[in-house]
Structure 1
Amino acid sequence: MSHDATDRLFAGSIPELYDQHLVPLIFEPYAADLAERVAAVKPGDVLEIAAGTGVVTRQLARVLPAATRIVATDLNVPMLQQARARGTARPVAWQQADAMALPFADARFDAVVCQFGAMFFPDRSRAFAQARRVLRPGGTLLFNVWDRIETNEFADVVTQALAAVFPQDPPRFMARVPHGYHDAAVVARDLAQGGFAAAPRWEVLSARSRASSPRAPAIAYCQGTPLRNEIEARAPTGLAAATEAAERALAARFGAGPVDGLVQALVFTV
């Protein structure tokens, strides 16, 4: 199976492990930030694309007025099923949808929001063009992407640890996809090619990633992301050993008790 296929494969136990381990580890602070930015534009209708297991959706349901309609979409049905299972504080419309072919009428939404999804789009300009198409005049696109992997310490340490486990063919999912779309100039170019005439506003947003032990981030990254697909492709029975190698590397860097690492992202508004 090609990288294009496995990089976007969130199936099996990945959605549940992702939601249980990775969401509280790195996504929750950015979800709260993004939801507050959406609330500030006072939208009547909001579309979320690449909603994953619903961490931003839950925040939107919490901070937006009850009259604001929220539609949350994702390409991966198992991720949406996990999101539905978690639920939201008030009703949300869940729908499977491809960000590059959104099944909505033109000028339908006041805001389109996407948390850490743009990196996964096979054609980002096309996805941005779709977002622009469904936005009403004066509407706003808000999204974030991870900064380079060296500024995201847990992901970097895990990637280096797995390179030692698989020296002939290091798993590079984390560097290639989640942390592979961090150049603001490239993002601005893709937005322009997608039809956004105005230059985006963007800022770097740092946070801390904390866990009770090194095992939590080791499981989060090795078993709760498509990195798992790369590990199992190299060693079908080697997931536990790879996770343990990541855990040892994290303990060597951050200690055997509670761990605390830097995470960093870029937040765009256009």
Structure 2
Amino acid sequence: MTASDKAFTGSIPQIYDQLLVPLIFVPYAQDLARRITAHQPRDVLETAAGTGVVTRALHAQLPPEVRITATDLNEPMLAQAKRHLAAESRIAFQQADALALPFADASFDAVACQFGAMFFPDRVKGYAEARRVLRPGGRFVFNVWDRIEENDFPHVVHETLQQVFPESPPQFFTRTPHGYYDSGRIEADLIAAGFTDIAIETVTHRSRAASPQDPATAFCQGTPMRGEIEARGTPGLAAVTQAAADALARRFGGGPIEGRIQALVISAR
């Protein structure tokens, strides 16, 4: 992972929230919230909350007396999340690094993290921090994307970028979002951080978009891939986005489209 992989700045949070969240994140957010709710927690911490899709799912599913603390390293992403839930008194938003959480030991009954572990510079340290703030018997529930070949839309966009920039192809997708999918490695990292009772499950959903333009824009302009594209100059962000849209249309059709998305969902005590 490079420093630019964590650069959710400028208009990225808005595009991410508007296009990418409904495209690929909503079903997994609802899934994580169901798993957390089943453990009947009193206090829940969310790390790498992004624009708050899991926060909203937790708010909808958890009893009203349960307190939720939503954190993210990127203040612009957290600011976007606050727009959805600013009036909810039981939800506290706080900028925080998942590798150095500003909370006392044994403060939470559950820790949730949606598609954030892939961005941790030191995953064992991040997992150890989650364990530190959990009460005895608490649960850490998180998910990571499976290999890019199992995720149709980003795979097509990735392959298109390899063709557009053959001399220096952008590798953000395979390096970070889809770069941490080996279940053996994930389990070993969790064990090294002190977790036991680890369960890893493959969960598949369908991703749907109104047109090929939406996922092209979402992945090219609503993720840190945008920085890699812009850094390469010609043919420019708009042209590259259109090339991705054209490739998606050739693969899935020109109207409403759908494709597979697949992730690993992990629970550790």
TM range (shorter): over 0.9
1:221 pairs, out of 219, 222, 229, with: 219
Query: Does 2:230 align with 1:232?
Result: yes
Q: Which residue in the other structure is 2:179 paired with?
A: 180
- 1:169, 1:226 → 2: CA distance? 16
1:13 pairs, out of 11, 20, 31, with: 11
The percent of aligned pairs where both chains have the same amino acid is 61
Query: Does 2:38 align with 1:40?
Result: yes
5+ residue gaps, structure 2: none
- 1:117, 1:100 → 2: CA distance? 11
Does structure 2 retain, via aligned residues, the 8 Å contact 1:21–1:216? yes
TM-fit CA distance, 1:124:
0.2
- 1:70, 1:4 → 2: CA distance? 30
Secondary structure of the residue that 1:81 maps to in structure 2? Answer: helix
Secondary structure of the residue that 1:242 maps to in structure 2? Answer: helix
TM-score by length of 1: 0.97
Q: Which residue in the other structure is 1:26 paired with?
A: 24
TM-fit CA distance, 1:4:
1.7
- 1:62, 1:236 → 2: CA distance? 45
- 2:217, 2:262 → 1: CA distance? 20
TM-fit CA distance, 1:199:
4.1
Secondary structure of the residue that 1:122 maps to in structure 2? Answer: coil
- 2:225, 2:236 → 1: CA distance? 13
TM-score by length of 2: 0.97
Q: Which amino acid aligns with 2:177?
A: P
Deviations 1:58-104 (A, max 9, x none): 01011101110100000000000000012268331000000000000
- 1:15, 1:111 → 2: CA distance? 26
5+ residue gaps, structure 1: none
Q: Which amino acid aligns with 1:26?
A: I
TM-fit CA distance, 1:237:
6.8
Q: Which amino acid aligns with 1:76?
A: N
TM-fit CA distance, 1:172:
1.0
1:89-168 equivalent positions in 2, closer than 5 A: 90-91=88-89, 92-168=91-167
RMSD between superposed Cα atoms in Å = 1.1
- 2:235, 2:98 → 1: CA distance? 34
TM-fit CA distance, 1:257:
0.6
